[in-house]
Amino acid sequence: MNSRNWVRLFISTLLVGGVTTGIVGFALKWSEYKELFIAFDIIEVLSILFWLIGVGFIFSVISQMGFFAYLTVHRFGLGIFRSVPMWNLAQIVLIVFVLFDLVYFRFQLFVKDGETITPYIFLALYVLIVGGIIAYFKRMDTNKEAFIPALFFMIVITTIEWFPALRVNEQDWLLLMLIPIQVCNAYQLLMLPRFNQVKKN
């Protein structure tokens, strides 16, 4: 990818992160923010929106750092294991380990009196399902060998990028960071071949 296409990908992903965070932020706190809309308090609404977009830009940059780090890791993995099946197997093991961590270790660290493990399982399932859907589209868009790497990226790398919110373990922050990062990661994963195609054309 040449520098022009990289800048296009960077800026478009930045906008995706900002817009997504703005939408998710208002959706999560709609019970509080709807009064501002009813009162037609434009200044307050815009200030909150600009803040959310700024936070979204940060999430987008984290996502892009993770994406380009994974492209490097993927090449190293292929070189170390010297075959796609072995590297895919290693990625599957890491996927299972990360999903287990999202349930068991988070439950051990943050469980409250009377709380069950069910919400922790549901959150890990959500990450798995979204990752599976994006990996399926990536497979359909390129080839069947792309499924496992895409699933690995959407689960393992997303979880690593999501770690600051996981440490806080505050429900709104968990979703406010997770969803934009997932959207940015999916966007980069699916759009990168198109930007490379622009270069070839």
The model's pTM: 0.90
Domain residue limits at 24: 3-200
Question: Is residue 103 within 8 Å of residue 120, measured between CB atoms?
Answer: yes
Predicted confidence at residue 89, as pLDDT, reads 94
Helix axes 42-81, 84-100, angle to 10 degrees: 140
Exposure on the CB side of residue 171, measured as CA atoms within 13 A: 4
Predicted confidence at residue 201, as pLDDT, reads 46
Question: Is residue 66 within 8 Å of residue 157, measured between CB atoms?
Answer: yes
Domain count, the chain: 1
Predicted confidence at residue 31, as pLDDT, reads 78
Helix axes 3-28, 30-38, angle to 10 degrees: 90
Which residue stretches of the chain have pLDDT < 70? 1, 37, 197-201
Question: Is residue 174 within 8 Å of residue 165, measured between CB atoms?
Answer: yes
Task: Tell me the pLDDT tens digit for each residue of 139-189.
Answer: 998 888 899 999 999 999 999 999 999 888 888 899 999 999 999 999 999
What percent of the chain lies above the pLDDT cut of 90?
59
